[in-house]
Structure 1
Amino acid sequence: MRRLLGVVFVVGAVAGCSSPVPGLPAPASGAGPSAAPAPATTTATTATAAPAAAGFTVIAGGDVLIHPALTEQAESDGGSGRDYAPLLAGIRPAVEGADLAVCHLEVPLAGADGPFAGYPRFIAPPEVATGLAETGYDVCTTASNHTMDHGEQGALSTLDALEAAGLAYTGSARDREDAETPLVLDVPGAKVGWLSHTFAFNSGTERPSGKPWMSNVIDVGEIIAEAEAAREAGADVVVASLHWGVEGSHEATAEQRDIAERLLGDPAVDLIIGHHAHVVQPFEKVNGKWVTYGLGNQVARHAEPKGTTEEGALARFRFVEQDGAWTVSEAEYLPTLVDLGPPIRLLDLTETGEGARAAEAIARTEEIVTSLGADADGLTRPGA
């Protein structure tokens, strides 16, 4: 949990306000969460025409893992500066088209002058946040095993960069008050709460003593309590982003499946979005609700690319209200591919899916995401 900047600020379980945080620009019109969404209107064209079911879409991407080669590409694209937007431009139409778009920022961000570093202790330039915002993202989840790679200073400079770019965040916080304020966002006709937790941190990079709010750790009881707090703050739908599983494995672990069973068996949690493995993992319907165990890398440039580490997926869900309850009416996955170029570019394979390499990525992603029967439960791929 954390406070929301630049979208909607809801304080605890007391009262919300619909105006942006002072000092940040008002949200742009169009897709994405807004401070005061206009009610949907429909115009009947015939006497029997019925209005479309009210609803909203959310889209979430995989790990944003900024290796030095991606920064070199951003420097090349930016000329006199660093510009990550061209790298991500391939997914911009899909991201902008959702009512709420959430990225997973796996690495800390530094100030403008760095220093910057790659594996094993990442820290990337602040322009990464600008590029994500220009791509259409509204929020970034920040709880990962790399959150504390550069200690408290790195965690706080990450939040500085996100705020400067107009992005909300969840998963880490500045202080206890920040951490105890649920992230609740306005979308057309509803409010969405979003949580972010990680399984642990890399060796030697633990949270500072007495400051557990620096990054959230997976604990089923705590996640449910936070989800309940988000609902008390007005959320109609609550999503949990979890950094978990085994790197390089396409299979969800028994622990992942157990956590999903417990969380999705509770009425406070509606959807789980998974990260960390750097390869795609299955989607599954559990207790009537969806979990994506792992969306792979959204963007990365490993020193030794494996093919599977360049493949990922965007997860898109449409929520509709029926009898006072919000449920997923459409579940989709959009295969993605990091084209290593040069130049390095992230591709949405539902839009650019030609060639043998794209066909290979689409086929492998489809096999993995449906391996637990998600297709039988209604998961689809646009254009398939």
Structure 2
Amino acid sequence: MKKIGLIGLCILLVACSSPKVDEAKDNPKKEAKDTVVSFFAVGDNLLHDTINYEAKEYGKESGRNYDYRPFYKNFKKQIQEADVSFINQETLVGGEELGISGYPNFNSPKEVATDIATTGFDLVNLASNHSLDRGSEGIANALKYFDEQKELTTAGINDSAERQSQIATFKKEGITFSFLAYTYGTNGILPANSYEINYFGDERIAQDVAKAKELSDVVIVSAHWGDENSFALNDMQKHYAQVFADAGVDVVIGTHPHVVQPNTWVQGQDGHTTYVIYSLGNFLGGMLDTKNIVGSYATFDVIKDAKTKEIRVANEDVKPLVIDFHGNQANILDERYDYQVMPLTKDYDKIAAEHVLNGYEGQVVSYAELMRMWTYGTKREI
């Protein structure tokens, strides 16, 4: 017993005299990671008659009146994987009760709102030159259909002065975002009530952005501007890009021209820089010129620094997409079908020749030709 006690005492003394274990090395302090919110953005959801006809056929298969989801299937994974995905709803979604129609006076079924949500989009611009194609009733219906999709944040049209005064906000990963939207006009149609449409205006934008900055960490703007079918920026775009930068907007996503335009950084008067995508072109549409079947999809990150808590926009990129469809060139206005939108890659040449616009009025549909136009539009000097 005494021997055991002596051995135990020796062990205790050795343990006490051993050097202390460095707890900091055994339990290294984990460095805080930056917070990253990923964005994905596409352009105009331009629903022509032939697209609506095909959506009705898809609806017969899925037991619905209309089904637009198949058109977006090639981008569904990217849309859903991003923390926030944006789309411009070019055409009014006023529902069947107001008559479904395409160009030039558009109105789309309520299923569009449902399918945008179920595909995985989060942000939807509703301010376009077609927002008043069915007047005040169309505005009310569109807001009703989109408000039913609780996961969506929309901006640009309003059914009351109170709604117009409110700033749309949403939260991701602890970062609060504001979403504002404006259009240059509504095809000469005047609103019955001034609050129905968010038109561009220096004073309005300054007030809205100031309020948005009080409510949020990041301000995103959808800008419906520019000249249709023009790769070049107009004076209005240049002016308001500067207005947004001076006001402290973080990102501007441009729509309306139906062709792609450049993306760049604009410096504001206080040194603040704003990332401006001037035009993403069409995401889905049935226009008959090859420059209108080439669009862009954009990605960027909003990053909050773990140490400084500063927020920045980074990792910005744009890539090309193509709207593929077939049809009968002899009756092309009424016979266009098999619509699908997909990333534009070299593999597109395997099916490009089957595009209904290939050979139509001398046009060429090929990877090289579409990339030539996309590069010309996105890389041109501003």
TM-score band by shorter chain is 0.7 to 0.9
1:10 aligned partner? none
Correspondent of 2:206 among 214, 219, 224: 224
Is 1:320 equivalent to 2:300 in the alignment?
A: no
Q: CA deviation at 1:363?
A: 4.2
Residue type matched to 1:133 in 2?
A
Q: Deviations over 1:287-306 (max 9, x none)?
A: 1321111111111112xx10
Q: SS of 2:319's equivalent?
A: strand
Provide the rounded CA distance (Å) in 1 between the counterparts of 2:376 and 2:239: 22
1:158 aligned partner? 142
Provide the rounded CA distance (Å) in 1 between the counterparts of 2:250 and 2:220: 6
Q: CA deviation at 1:324?
A: 3.3
Distance 1:179 1:85, change over 3 A: same
1:331 aligned partner? 316
Q: CA deviation at 1:97?
A: 1.5
Residue type matched to 2:144 in 1?
D
Aligned residue pairs total: 321
Contact 2:42 2:283 in 1 (8 A): yes
Q: Deviations over 1:134-159 (max 9, x none)?
A: 22111211111111111000111111
Provide the rounded CA distance (Å) in 2 between the counterparts of 1:331 and 1:49: 28
Contact 1:283 1:372 in 2 (8 A): no
Correspondent of 1:144 among 120, 123, 128: 128
Is 1:371 equivalent to 2:354 in the alignment?
A: no
1:214 aligned partner? 196
2:239 aligned partner? 258
Indicate the larger mover: 191-200 or 216-225: 216-225
Q: Deviations over 1:100-151 (max 9, x none)?
A: 1121111111234441111221111111112211221112111111111110
Flag structure 1 segments of 5+ consecutive residues without an equivalent.
Answer: 1-45, 374-384
1:88 aligned partner? 72
Q: CA deviation at 1:311?
A: 1.2
Is 1:191 equivalent to 2:200 in the alignment?
A: no
1:40 aligned partner? none
1:291 aligned partner? 276
Q: SS of 2:297's equivalent?
A: strand
Q: CA deviation at 1:77?
A: 1.6
Q: TM-score by structure 2 length?
A: 0.79
Larger Rg: 2
Q: Deviations over 1:228-270 (max 9, x none)?
A: 212222x100011111110010111122112112221232x11
Q: TM-score by structure 1 length?
A: 0.78
2:118 aligned partner? 134
Distance 1:184 1:363, change over 3 A: same
- For 1:27-176, list aligned pairs within 5 A: 52-79=33-60, 80=63, 81-166=65-150, 167-176=152-161
Provide the rounded CA distance (Å) in 1 between the counterparts of 2:200 and 2:297: 23
Q: CA deviation at 1:48?
A: 9.6
Provide the rounded CA distance (Å) in 2 between the counterparts of 1:273 and 1:254: 17
Q: CA deviation at 1:352?
A: 6.7
Is 1:271 equivalent to 2:266 in the alignment?
A: no
The alignment's C-alpha RMSD in Å is: 2.2
Contact 1:64 1:107 in 2 (8 A): yes
Provide the rounded CA distance (Å) in 2 between the counterparts of 1:259 and 1:141: 17
Provide the rounded CA distance (Å) in 2 between the counterparts of 1:201 and 1:148: 6
Provide the rounded CA distance (Å) in 2 between the counterparts of 1:263 and 1:309: 27
Provide the rounded CA distance (Å) in 2 between the counterparts of 1:185 and 1:372: 34
Q: After TM superposition, which residue ranges in structure 1, 4 or more long, deviate above 6 angstroms?
A: 46-49
Distance 1:351 1:50, change over 3 A: farther
Higher relative contact order (CA 8 A, sep 6+): 1
Is 1:309 equivalent to 2:285 in the alignment?
A: no
Contact 2:87 2:125 in 1 (8 A): yes
Q: Deviations over 1:298-348 (max 9, x none)?
A: 11112xx10111111122210112433321121011311111134111113
Q: CA deviation at 1:51?
A: 5.3
Contact 1:334 1:350 in 2 (8 A): no
Q: CA deviation at 1:362?
A: 3.6
Provide the rounded CA distance (Å) in 2 between the counterparts of 1:212 and 1:114: 22
Contact 1:114 1:125 in 2 (8 A): no
Correspondent of 1:179 among 164, 180, 190: 164
Flag structure 2 segments of 5+ consecutive residues without an equivalent.
Answer: 1-26, 268-272, 327-336, 353-365
Contact 2:259 2:377 in 1 (8 A): no
Provide the rounded CA distance (Å) in 2 between the counterparts of 1:93 and 1:242: 26
1:348 aligned partner? 343
Distance 1:83 1:256, change over 3 A: same
Residue type matched to 1:125 in 2?
P
Correspondent of 1:360 among 341, 351, 369: 369
